[in-house]
Structure 1
């Protein structure tokens, strides 16, 4: 199993602010995340799939 990404790692990968990810999560429009206690964790494949759905290309 791949290691899960933190919100900071997803922010860095997408080159967007952490607050944008939080806003998208609140609006249910961003990549799927799971809450583990007080922390959010993202599965890399979910982030990549969401990115592709938005028209992004992975180099």
Structure 2
């Protein structure tokens, strides 16, 4: 149990968004969270998983594909 549990405000700051965004992720159950009484906490690993799952890698184009036909 070495995972840090973050508040909604901390997750919003970490993602660079408003608090509304992590709250929507929780409501739509798109991110793991833990209820501690009436408080909601999000494991730091859940935030990392969310970001990793939605990271889009760049597409490498071959130079020949960029040339114009004569």
Give the TM interval when normalised to the shorter protein.
0.7 to 0.9
| Larger radius of gyration between Structure 1 and Structure 2 | 2
Instruction: Output the TM-score relative to the length of structure 2.
Output: 0.67
More strand by share: 2
User: Which ranges in structure 1 are unaligned for 5 or more consecutive residues?
Assistant: none
**Closer, same or farther: CA 12–36 of 1 in aligned 2, 3 Å:** same
Which digits, 9 at most, give the CA deviation of each residue in 1:1-59, with x for residues without a partner?
A: 13311111111000111112112211222x21111111111111111011100116xxx
For CA contacts below 8 A with separation 6 or more, give which structure has more relative contact order: 1
What is the aligned residue count? 56
Runs of 4+, deviation exceeding 2 Å: none
Distance 1:40 1:48 in 2: 17
Which position in structure 2 is the counterpart of 1:6?
7
More helix by share: 1
